């Protein structure tokens, strides 16, 4: 089930909210667990069983760590922590990277003149496995670090793990940041209204902008010989599609959380106005950036073991972060690209100074250069394979001519082009966005009416489409 669907909007969400608020407060975690289970099992029941197994293992390991620490046996606690992390990573590795490993081995055997086996089973990727495995790992590690206490009742922990607003595409949550809200969250009309507005804004971003420019990106990346104009327009379209799709989902998740009394972490902060890649990763997919910092970069040594080790740690963190996104060499290279740039910026002393006062022309130049680096990375991120990415890069440098090709021109609709231009204006007017997201503006009569109109337009558009999946569901 996806947020941008009639089943979710007109059946699941109203029924769930009605049951949730009619349920006594002490049983609402159980309501979340049951409702979220139905939400996830709507896709495949068997993978809901996998989710349950991951939760059960994490719960058992956390209790074992807690008992070992209470008895003063840190060695056993550490062993349980390692076992918990290894089993979770093994689960993720099997379901997400088995096919990748098989395909890579087949390619090596073919190049060596050997015949690869033909009867190797393929593995279907469960939706959201990267997110709920990361949630389980962070919970186990936080318990081991004593940043949180083990949850005694499985239903309470399972409610955190399955909380459906963030179950399949984040934000990446940490139990220690949300535990108190399961015990003391506030339910109010103002909070519910704020959540409804956030949900509608995110829904409009996804359906009205991301879905409208998606055909441009798809058409450009499908060309055999894209021209410079084709390739750059396609890269820009994908940058807009990905941002409004994923930030739209995240905004919807935050809104749904507020409607249920939870305040989830914000996942985006105008990333395309960043003046460096370092700043970009403070603004893009903030929950993942924070997770990688706390559970990978810092355990690797962070910046505490000298400059060379710091550069290596930055590179490895981004390399593994790229691999987390998908089992494809394109994601590995995309992660390496960002890792190299972050290391270079660190070497040059670049910092993420979001509020730095610099001359306007310098700011524009820095933002433009950063966006160029981001776009180059997005091409590799979007391409189906490295060869396709190289085809796009060849087009971007003009190997196939400069103007829009006939093969691409007929696929450019006026609506998609206008939406792409509008998205650019929205992205690069942060003062307007900051004001729009201000609660007093949203709560005004004009703000409410504007959001409702956009939402109704998005619903109308959605109903005319057959399917509207979120891009990050594949991760």
Helix (H) or strand (E) holding 381: helix 360-382
Residue found by looking up tokens 């650019």 in the block: 424
Q: Answer yes or no: are the C-beta atoms of 6 and 462 closer than 8 Å.
A: yes
Catalytic, out of 135, 325, 338, 361: 325
Structure tokens belonging to residue 111: 């190049």
How many Cβ atoms sit within 10 Å of the Cβ of residue 168?
25
Identify the CA nearest to 161 among candidates 185, 178, 149, 186. 178
Contact 268, 286 (CB under 8 A): yes
Residue 471's closest CA among 245, 272, 204, 221? Answer: 245
Q: How far apart are CA 130 and CA 170, in angstroms?
A: 10
The verdict on whether 153 is a catalytic residue reads no
State the Cα–Cα distance between residues 232 and 244, nearest whole angstrom: 18
User: Three-state secondary structure along 139-207?
Assistant: HHHHHHCCCCCCCCCHHHHHHHHHCHHHCCCCCCCCHHHHHHHHHHCCCCHHHHHHHHHHHHHHHHHHH
261 neighbors 20 (Cβ within 8 angstroms) = no
The DSSP annotation for 32-49 comes to: HHHHHHHHHHTT-HHHHH
Q: Which residue has the tokens 């690797």?
A: 300
Helix (H) or strand (E) holding 234: helix 228-259
Helix (H/G/I), strand (E/B), else coil: 467: coil
N residues, the chain:
475
Which SS3 state, helix, strand or coil, does residue 19 take? helix
The set of catalytic residues is 325
């Amino acid at each position: 089930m996806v947020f941008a669907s009639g089943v979710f909007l007109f059946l699941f969400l109203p029924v769930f909210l009605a049951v949730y608020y009619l349920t006594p407060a002490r049983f609402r975690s159980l309501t979340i667990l049951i409702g979220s289970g139905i939400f996830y099992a709507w896709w495949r029941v068997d993978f809901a069983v996998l989710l349950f197994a991951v939760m059960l293992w994490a719960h058992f390991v956390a209790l074992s760590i807690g008992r070992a620490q209470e008895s003063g046996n840190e060695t056993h606690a550490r062993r349980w922590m390692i076992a918990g992390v290894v089993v979770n990573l093994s689960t993720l590795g099997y379901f997400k990277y088995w096919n990748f490993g098989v395909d890579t081995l087949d390619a090596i055997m073919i190049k060596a003149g050997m015949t690869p086996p033909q009867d190797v089973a393929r593995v279907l990727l469960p939706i959201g496995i990267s997110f709920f495995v990361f949630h389980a790992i962070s919970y186990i590690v936080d318990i081991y670090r004593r940043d949180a206490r083990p949850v005694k009742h499985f239903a309470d922990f399972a409610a955190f793990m399955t909380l459906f607003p963030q179950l399949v595409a984040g934000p990446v949550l940490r139990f220690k940041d949300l535990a108190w809200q399961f015990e003391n969250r506030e339910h109010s009309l103002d909070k519910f209204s704020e959540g409804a507005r956030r949900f509608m804004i995110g829904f409009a971003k996804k359906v009205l902008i991301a879905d409208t420019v998606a055909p441009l990106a798809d058409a450009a990346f499908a060309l055999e010989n894209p021209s410079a104009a084709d390739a750059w327009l396609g890269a820009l379209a994908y940058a807009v599609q990905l941002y409004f799709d994923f930030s739209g989902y995240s905004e919807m998740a935050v809104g749904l959380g507020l409607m249920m009394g939870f305040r989830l972490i914000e996942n985006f902060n105008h990333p395309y106005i960043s003046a460096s890649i370092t700043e970009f990763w403070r603004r893009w997919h903030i929950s993942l950036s924070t997770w990688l910092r706390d559970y990978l970069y810092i355990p690797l040594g962070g910046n505490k073991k000298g400059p060379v080790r710091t550069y290596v740690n930055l590179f490895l963190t981004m390399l593994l972060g790229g691999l987390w996104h998908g089992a494809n060499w394109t994601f590995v290279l995309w992660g390496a690209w960002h890792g190299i740039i972050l290391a270079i910026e660190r070497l040059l002393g670049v910092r993420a100074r979001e509020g730095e006062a610099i001359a306007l022309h310098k700011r524009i130049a820095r933002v433009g250069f950063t966006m160029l680096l981001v776009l180059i990375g997005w091409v590799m991120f979007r391409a189906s394979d490295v060869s396709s990415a190289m085809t796009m890069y060849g087009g971007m440098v003009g190997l196939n001519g400069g103007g829009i090709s006939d093969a691409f021109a007929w696929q450019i609709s006026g609506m998609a082009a206008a939406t792409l231009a509008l998205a650019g204006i929205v992205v690069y007017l942060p003062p307007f966005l900051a004001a729009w997201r201000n609660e007093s503006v949203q709560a005004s009569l004009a703000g409410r009416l504007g959001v409702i109109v956009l939402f109704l337009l998005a619903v109308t558009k959605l109903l005319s489409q057959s399917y509207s999946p979120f891009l990050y569901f594949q991760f």
